[in-house]
Amino acid sequence: MKLVVVNAGLSNPSSTRLLADRLAADVVEAVAAQGDLTSTTVLELRDLAVDIANSLTSGFGVGQVKNALDAVYGADALIVATPVFNASYSGLFKSFFDLVDVDRMAGKPVLIAATGGSERHSMVLDHALRPLFSYLRAVVMPTGVYAASQDWAGNTGDTALLSDRIRRAATELARAVGMGDTDTASIAPSANEAASYDSAVESAGISNFAKLLGG
């Protein structure tokens, strides 16, 4: 399995890269459990910023961007991770994916992830990232992963919940590649897995929106 990780984190070290690395590690483990090996390539968009800008103005991939796009096209699966800027993905992240060929993204399994300073930005997964990759005709995994600053601060409940979500998303991606299936219903967690995750959410003291709205 060829796994490509697209990291749009700008700092070094970066919480976005940390999240991407944890996702990749769990995917490698999940694929190994299925009896396969994984080759992982990480694309650091911060290192490609100038070439991305030149590619946008020229209309085609130039410099290292061409190699990066070829890696994306040749991947069996993608992990994409971006920091949240102004309630959406970063401009660098969007600029890179503006360069991809839609036809060559069709049917490609993608795990979406994002980081931000507050839990309030978690909806970026469903309101920005998921629509982008749906437009690109990729197969977006049912579980996206968002990590807020507090998830790295040693808060036991939040840290455990993030780890569970990372494991769940990684398992979905491994299943999608292993089965060669583009039906998200078949890669979603089983009823027992979903119940276990819901229990973890409740134990962490996090209510779902339906309960919040219901008072």
Summarize pLDDT for 92-135 with one digit per residue, the tens.
999 999 999 999 999 999 999 999 988 888 999 999 999 999 99
Q: Do residues 141 and 112 touch, judged by C-beta distance below 8 A?
A: yes
pTM confidence score: 0.83
CA distance 166 to 157: 14
Residue 142 in this model has a pLDDT that exceeds 80: yes
Domain count of the fold of the chain: 1
d(C-alpha 162, C-alpha 170), whole Å: 12
The answer on pLDDT for 200 being more than 50 is no
Question: Is residue 65 within 8 Å of residue 48, measured between CB atoms?
Answer: yes
Q: Which two tokens stand for residue 214?
A: 């219901």
CATH number at residue 46: 3.40.50.360
- The two three-digit tokens of residue 206, written as one number: 């996090």
| Domain encompassing residue 82 | 2-214
Q: Chain centroid to CA 81: how far?
A: 5
Distance CA 96, CA 64 (A): 12
